[in-house]
Amino acid sequence: MDSLVFLCARRVVAQRPLPTLPSHLYPVLFQVAFLDGRPLVLRDLVATWPFPELNLWRLLGRRKLLRDHSCTDCVQAVIQGVVDQLRQEPDERSRHSSLRVLDMTRLSHSVSGCTPTGLTIWFSQNALAKACMEVSKHQPESQRRGSKWPKGCSGAATAAAAPQPPGVDVHTDLRVNEMSYEILCNTLQAGAASPLRLKCRELQAGHVSASEIVTLLESLDPCCLQMVELWNTWGLTWLLVILPHLSRFPELRSLKLKYIDVDMQHLTPESTMRIRSVARQLGMLPGLQELSLGFSELSGNLQQILCDLQTPLESLELGYCFLVPADLTFLSQSIHAPALKMLDLSGNNISQGLLEPLRLLLEETSASLLYLDLEHCHVADSHLAALLPTLLRCSRLRFLRLFGNPLSTAAIKDLLQRTLELPDLHLVEHPYPMDCYKPVLPDSGWDFVLDEELLAVTTAEISQLLENSGRTDLIFTYHFFGYRDTDYFF
């Protein structure tokens, strides 16, 4: 139920132009205008925003307003409101607005429902690029002459940097591919000395060359970048071109490298040297807390990749990496195990000698682990029974993913009853029970199909067990949520 203030704000935003308003009402008016789809009102509010910062996630994400409806018009209005503000004369602007930072990060964590996440991210990114170029074109030539970012963010380097013109910094997350590369590159390079400046927090890049990624990295403010995700299918040589350029970002916390294309099982002297070079470059990122190496064939080489890291990782994704027992044994004995909050081992076959090394690893991570992903790991009833005592020692565990494993109804019910002991557990994704499948005719193309009626009965039984437990805070489901609570560092 909405509060009285919220209902009154709804009456206010129904009129335009808005009356003169006290500053403390701006946040709730912004929320209502966004929720009710009033882009012109949003534009007016942003153009006269009375606070130094406007953070969309804080205002909207926590109320889930971004999840409930299509919001592209509203996002466009917010951006245009900033442009309107920057077009005002300096004296007029100082009287009517205090905005210096527009934070549009974390849209990918907020947007769903009527507007697909990807669509909103691409839309807001393109709208921001066009706005930056528009503002830049209207600047005097003397103000458009920018300089490159300083190599560091502290001390003499910051003091020596040319002062930025007054304006608005837009903190955002950028996705780059062959279609968006040129406009983003031009925007970042032209906007360094513009009143409207993009400050990238997360950079996701795929289907662009290593040299193009380097060009983008050289155009980013080194003080802002916190996460880089690279979809790399060209191998270690491609990666070694990029990694040296990441050391200029002191705030870099997360590095996600997907699909490292190298045959780790048949290493040559040359590829071994490249692995050592990658390890050395990773060791030059002292702030790294999250590393993803998903879908990379690392069999037996995890130690070689991680050996030069100087500080413990808090998040490690090793999904579908063809891990062998030696990899998990190394990890359990490494500096990383006691610090891990998130561990993704999805797609690694636990039946191939990984059970005991995994149990030992969970022992070492039990004091810190928040998120564990064992999706599609061939975890059978006997494996789960062996792991449960150790899992129950992970007293801080919040999320457990076991989807895609061959577990019976009895094992899943036992999992529920045993994990009720974990006070912080919020979500368990379990598989469809194996005994809820039925055989089909040989010529159908399928050996087994899901028996929907039997699944409904089993689901009702599990739901009743959960209801009887009184744990209203726990979601125990076979639905694939795709939820990742890995944003520990931002």
pLDDT band per the 50, 70, 90 thresholds, residue 165 = low
pLDDT band per the 50, 70, 90 thresholds, residue 445 = low
Q: What percent of the chain is predicted at pLDDT more than 70?
A: 83
pLDDT exceeds cutoff 50 at 442: yes
489 vs 479: CA distance, rounded Å: 28
Mean pLDDT of 204-216: 92
- Beta carbons within 8 Å of 399's beta carbon, 6+ residues apart: 370, 371, 372, 425, 426, 427, 428, 483, 485
- Of the listed ranges 150-164, 353-367, 448-462, the least confidently predicted one is 150-164
Mean pLDDT of 343-370: 97
pLDDT band per the 50, 70, 90 thresholds, residue 141 = very low
- Tokens of residue 314, six digits: 């808090």
Residue 235 or 444, more confident? 235
20 vs 181: CA distance, rounded Å: 42
**The dihedral sign for the CA sequence 65, 68, 74, 76:** positive
pLDDT exceeds cutoff 90 at 92: no
Q: Kind of pairing, strands 437-439 and 448-450?
A: antiparallel
Q: 84, 43 in Cβ contact below 8 A?
A: yes
pLDDT tens track for 239-291: 999 999 999 999 999 999 988 776 666 778 888 898 999 999 999 999 999 99
Mean pLDDT of 429-443: 87
pLDDT band per the 50, 70, 90 thresholds, residue 488 = very low
pLDDT on residue 490: 39
- Tokens of residue 1, six digits: 């139920």
pLDDT band per the 50, 70, 90 thresholds, residue 117 = very low
pLDDT tens track for 73-90: 889 999 999 999 988 877
pLDDT on residue 371: 96
pLDDT exceeds cutoff 80 at 192: no
For 160-251, strand residue ranges (E) read 168-176, 196-206, 227-231
pLDDT on residue 258: 83
pLDDT exceeds cutoff 90 at 486: no
pLDDT exceeds cutoff 80 at 390: yes
The overall average pLDDT reported for the chain is: 86
pLDDT tens track for 394-425: 999 999 999 999 999 999 999 999 999 999 99
pLDDT on residue 489: 43
pLDDT on residue 65: 56
pLDDT tens track for 41-57: 999 999 999 999 999 98
The pTM (predicted TM-score) of the whole model is 0.88
- Tokens of residue 404, six digits: 């895609």
- What are the start-end ranges of the H helices in 87-116? 90-96, 107-110
Q: 150, 161 in Cβ contact below 8 A?
A: yes
Greatest mean pLDDT among 13-27, 165-179, 365-379: 365-379
pLDDT on residue 156: 35
pLDDT on residue 80: 95
